[in-house]
């Protein structure tokens, strides 16, 4: 049985009784360098009904399975993001690297935008550099930190999207972005620092249980549609195209995964920030 999830809060360690938890905690490497690690939770299989458990298990199996996910030591992926702006649609290009350290991952993102080159580390704290210089504006830290968390969250879905304390409810079939899906609703722990606001509704393919997307936050939340799944290196079946919508149904961004490599060598120094 796959492990339960832990939210973005290392103090919740040891709470699950359904399996091992995946934690990401911030740790200092030395006085002049701060090691930042990002918490990504694992999927919890909850003791609801046999039918509901089978549906989630099938989703995990379709995504590659927990055994294969546990063999992933690093993730190195590149992407492009098309977003609306006052000057029309602009394109950002980025690279995110994740490295497992024991049961943890360190995460770093480099983002090339029309407004400069950004490097973002997220974890118990958020660190950002623009064109090599530290950024201290809280609004910028919050925005870029949240975006980085969400991208790390979706690249490893469906292994990273459930609250360990959730009670799943099957809501039946419906149409999601013009696609017929099965829906499973979960309430999220408000104190866990989860990157999405509850309630979270998973949208699962009715034939394969593949994760087709999710909606969250009700009237103040949003939706993500996942498409173009591809099994990479015989490990994980991940979506290559993500479309994000706001609560009003307006398309806010389209992300294309242009390349993803698992288990390549990544230097530890990439996850340290000079002060």
Q: Can you give 48-105 as a three-state secondary structure string? A: CCHHHHHHHHHHHHHCCCHHHHCCCCEEEEEEEEEEEECCEEEEEEEEEEEEEECCEE
Question: Which comes out higher in pLDDT, residue 80 or 26?
Answer: 80
pLDDT higher than threshold 70 for residue 275: no
User: How do residues 110-143 score in pLDDT, each as one tens digit?
Assistant: 999 998 999 999 866 789 999 999 999 999 998 8
User: How do residues 174-219 score in pLDDT, each as one tens digit?
Assistant: 999 999 999 988 776 665 556 777 788 999 999 888 999 999 988 8
Average pLDDT over the chain, rounded to an integer: 78
Least confident of 14-23, 73-82, 135-144: 14-23
User: At 24, is the pLDDT very low, low, confident or very high (cuts 50, 70, 90)?
Assistant: very low
The model's pTM is 0.76
**pLDDT on residue 36:** 45
Segment 234-255 mean pLDDT:
93
Q: What sign has the CA pseudo-torsion 239, 242, 248, 251? A: negative
Spell out the domains of the chain, with CATH numbers in brackets.
10-262 (2.50.20.10)
């Amino acid at each position: 049985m796959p492990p339960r999830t832990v939210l973005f809060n290392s103090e919740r360690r040891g709470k699950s009784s359904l399996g091992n938890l995946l934690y990401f905690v911030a740790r200092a490497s030395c006085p002049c360098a701060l090691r930042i690690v990002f918490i990504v939770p694992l999927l919890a299989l909850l003791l609801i009904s046999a039918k509901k458990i089978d549906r989630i298990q099938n989703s995990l199996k379709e995504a590659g399975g927990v055994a294969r996910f546990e063999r992933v030591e690093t993730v190195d992926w590149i992407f492009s993001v098309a977003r609306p702006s006052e000057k029309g649609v602009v394109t950002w290009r980025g690279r995110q690297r994740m490295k497992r350290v024991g049961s943890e991952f360190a995460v770093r993102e480099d983002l090339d935008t029309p407004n400069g080159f950004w490097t973002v580390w997220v974890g118990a704290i958020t660190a950002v550099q623009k064109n090599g210089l530290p950024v201290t504006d809280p609004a910028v830290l919050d925005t870029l930190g949240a975006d980085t968390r969400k991208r790390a969250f979706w690249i490893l879905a469906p292994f990273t999207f459930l609250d360990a304390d959730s009670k799943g409810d099957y809501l039946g079939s419906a149409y999601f972005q013009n696609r017929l899906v099965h829906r499973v609703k979960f309430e999220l722990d408000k104190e866990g620092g989860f990157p999405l606001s509850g309630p979270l509704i998973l949208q699962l393919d009715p034939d394969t249980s593949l994760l087709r997307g999710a909606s969250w936050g009700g009237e103040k939340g949003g939706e993500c549609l996942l498409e173009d799944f591809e099994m990479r290196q015989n490990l994980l079946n991940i979506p290559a195209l993500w479309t994000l919508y706001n609560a009003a149904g307006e398309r806010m961004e389209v992300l294309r995964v242009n390349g993803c490599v698992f288990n390549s060598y990544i230097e530890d120094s990439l996850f340290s920030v000079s002060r």
